[in-house]
Structure 1
Amino acid sequence: MDFHTRKWVKPEDLNPNGSLFGGSLLRWIDEESAIYAILQLDNPRVVTKYMSEINFVSSAGLGDMVELGLSVAAFGRTSLTLRCEVRNLVTRKSILTVERIVYVNLDEHGRPTPHGKQGRAGEGEGDDA
């Protein structure tokens, strides 16, 4: 898993309980995973098709630094499936996991189109969209 993006939990990212608001975290994941998919598929036209259950494992608080990790789980014919983990940068304690985020590769007309990419050794085929 590649951990590239780091975020600092600021007051505007907190929920009424004083911990990281899940919506802020999901916004970060959505943006970072889209960028990751675009780079993997060499195409700026990708859309999110599916996100599996989101497992909030622990919390983060004001001033914590978190890092988002992504890895390719599988390449389908027109899709790319990613896995995501968010963890505390200092303690490495897991905050959240998402087992499957599926992106679909689109052509210039917004239709699913084959991307021609293949998975690395040990990866299975993704869902075709």
Structure 2
Amino acid sequence: MEAQEPELKFRTRRWVKPEDLNPNHTLFGGSLLKWIDEEAVIYAILQLNNPRVVTKFISEINFISAPRLGDIIELGIVATDFGRTSITLKCEVRNKITHQPVLAIEKLVFVNVDENGKPVPHGKTAITFARDRLNNDAATLN
């Protein structure tokens, strides 16, 4: 039986504003990549429970369509693999209103590091959810 890939959760939304546009009056790719890297590292930090996580690798970036001024886009990110010191994520971006795909990235790899920037094992093997982390934190306080 083949393992089922976790479902992408589209939770982060961005509004395309004038300062985000390129000379073609569409969303500047560099702005979108910055937003993705920021959201992905936050996801990795929460999954690995460590604020010291660094971007190691981003696979081919497939720009599918170009958002325009006023569009609302949403980013979907999910963990697809846990290494000894790393976590691999997948990202998709779509137009919130039309659900038209904007971008896809198959692999973003982040590494768990110590205070000296050296890779360290994280001990995680599966996705955790905020409700589970909150329940575990509450249980340790009681």
Are residue 36 (structure 1) and residue 43 (structure 2) matched?
Answer: yes
Cα displacement string for residues 77-118 of structure 1 (whole angstroms, at most 9, x for unaligned residues): 000000000000001111000000000001122110000000
CA distance in 2, matches of 1:5, 1:119: 22
Task: Return 5+ residue gaps in structure 1 as ranges.
Answer: 121-129
Spell out structure 1 runs of 4+ moving beyond 4 A.
Answer: none
Once the two structures are TM-superposed, the CA of residue 119 in structure 1 deviates from its matched residue by 3.0
Matched letter for residue 47 of structure 1: V
CA root-mean-square deviation: 0.8
Tell me which amino acid in the other structure corresponds to 2:108: I
Equivalent residue number for residue 115 of structure 2: 108
* Secondary structure class of the residue paired with 1:16: coil
Equivalent residue number for residue 5 of structure 1 = 12
Q: Counterpart of 2:28 in structure 1: which amino acid?
A: F
Instruction: Note the C-alpha offset of 1:75.
Output: 0.3
Number of positions where the alignment pairs a residue of Structure 1 with one of Structure 2 = 120
In structure 1, which of residues 99, 117, 129 is the aligned counterpart of residue 124 of structure 2?
117
Per-residue deviation, 1:2: 1.1
Q: For residue 55 of structure 1, give the secondary structure of its aligned residue in structure 2.
A: strand
Amino acid at match of 1:85: E
List alignment gaps of at least 5 residues for structure 2: 1-7, 128-142
Q: TM-score, normalised by structure 1?
A: 0.91
Partner of 1:124: none
Which one has the bigger helix percentage? 2
Q: Secondary structure in 1 aligned to 2:46?
A: helix
Residue in 2 that maps onto 1:123: none
SS of equivalent residue, structure 1 residue 110: coil
